[in-house]
């Protein structure tokens, strides 16, 4: 696979003698720092990305086959996985499905094609975020940090933990990142959890797609409004909800979504 181009400034960041990275404020990877797994058949790109992430303090490991990537991802202990879509043999979507069968580790998918269909499929399968390979290394780092923040504990300003959000028979627990429907634990991806929590905080009020994106992403993003629709569809399936006769999530055309509050109906 051809190495995708990044912005010139990022190529400057990654130039230097072998084993070094010419990066302002560079520090070597801390042996105690969190680990990030890179799954990409493009060896050169993996080396560039690995050097960049190490320059800001992370440990990295690169795997260049999908099946080996699944095996390493399921070993556990990763802060996040960066996963390429286009790989020979077992492609990125198949790898993600295999990972999601056993793990909720944050996964940032990369595509060299920039096709919105890839974005939608990846999000449906369980990716936490999606980024074209033409993006800069700095943007990729910001996205990685955002998905890692979202997968951690939901500590609010002031150091206190956010109280459980209870809406009818639904209980969303930000401090433990669990969601219960009655006595049943729902198996949600990190982004699905954030979408549902955002709706629960605004129960009984309509939230636009832009408002949901702004709340769950905590960063600048490339707007794929339909990605919100995909997460809502996945949530409805897991809640056993019917879009035409909803018990939980109601759609307001051209306006957004609302989590129905039984006390206000």
Mean pLDDT of all residues in the chain?
Answer: 78
**Is domain 8-151 given the CATH code 3.40.50.300 in the classification?**
no
pLDDT for 134 equals 86
Task: Name the band, by pLDDT with cuts 50, 70 and 90, for residue 154.
Answer: very low
34 vs 27, residue with greater confidence = 34
Task: Name the band, by pLDDT with cuts 50, 70 and 90, for residue 43.
Answer: very high
Rounded to 10 degrees, the C-alpha dihedral 10/127/231/229 comes to 50
pLDDT-wise least confident of 20-29, 135-144, 253-262: 20-29
Task: Break the chain into its structural domains and give their ranges.
Answer: 8-151, 165-264
In this prediction, residues 158-163 reach a mean pLDDT of 50
CATH for 165-264? 1.10.10.10
pLDDT for 160 equals 42
The model's pTM is: 0.52
In this prediction, residues 26-43 reach a mean pLDDT of 70
Q: What is the pLDDT of residues 5-31, one digit of tens each?
A: 433 333 333 323 223 233 333 344 444
Q: What is the pLDDT of residues 172-226, one digit of tens each?
A: 987 778 899 998 999 988 888 888 988 998 888 898 888 887 776 544 444 444 5
pLDDT > 90: percent of the chain: 34
């Amino acid at each position: 696979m051809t190495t995708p181009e990044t912005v010139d400034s990022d190529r400057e960041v990654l130039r230097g003698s072998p084993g070094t990275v010419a990066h302002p404020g560079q520090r070597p990877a801390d042996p105690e720092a969190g680990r990030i797994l890179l799954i990409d058949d493009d060896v050169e790109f993996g080396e560039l990305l690995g050097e960049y992430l190490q320059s800001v303090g992370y440990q990295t490991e690169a795997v260049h086959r999908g099946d080996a990537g699944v095996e390493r991802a399921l070993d556990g202990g990763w802060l996040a996985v960066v996963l390429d879509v286009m790989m020979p043999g077992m492609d990125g979507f198949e790898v993600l499905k295999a990972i999601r069968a056993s793990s909720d580790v944050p996964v940032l998918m990369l595509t060299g094609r920039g096709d919105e269909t890839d974005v939608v499929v990846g999000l449906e399968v369980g990716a936490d975020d999606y980024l074209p390979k033409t993006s800069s290394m700095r943007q990729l780092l910001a996205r990685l940090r955002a998905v890692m923040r979202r997968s951690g504990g939901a500590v609010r300003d002031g150091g206190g933990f956010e109280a459980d959000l209870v809406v009818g028979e639904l209980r969303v627990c930000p401090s433990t990142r669990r969601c219960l429907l009655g006595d049943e634990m729902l198996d949600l991806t990190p982004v699905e959890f954030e979408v549902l929590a955002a709706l629960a905080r605004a129960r009984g009020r309509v939230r636009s797609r832009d408002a949901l994106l702004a709340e769950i992403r905590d960063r600048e993003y490339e707007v794929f409004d339909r990605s919100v629709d995909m997460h809502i569809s996945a949530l409805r399936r897991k809640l056993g909800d019917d879009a035409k006769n909803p018990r939980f999530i109601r759609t307001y055309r051209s306006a957004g979504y609302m989590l129905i509050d039984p006390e206000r109906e």
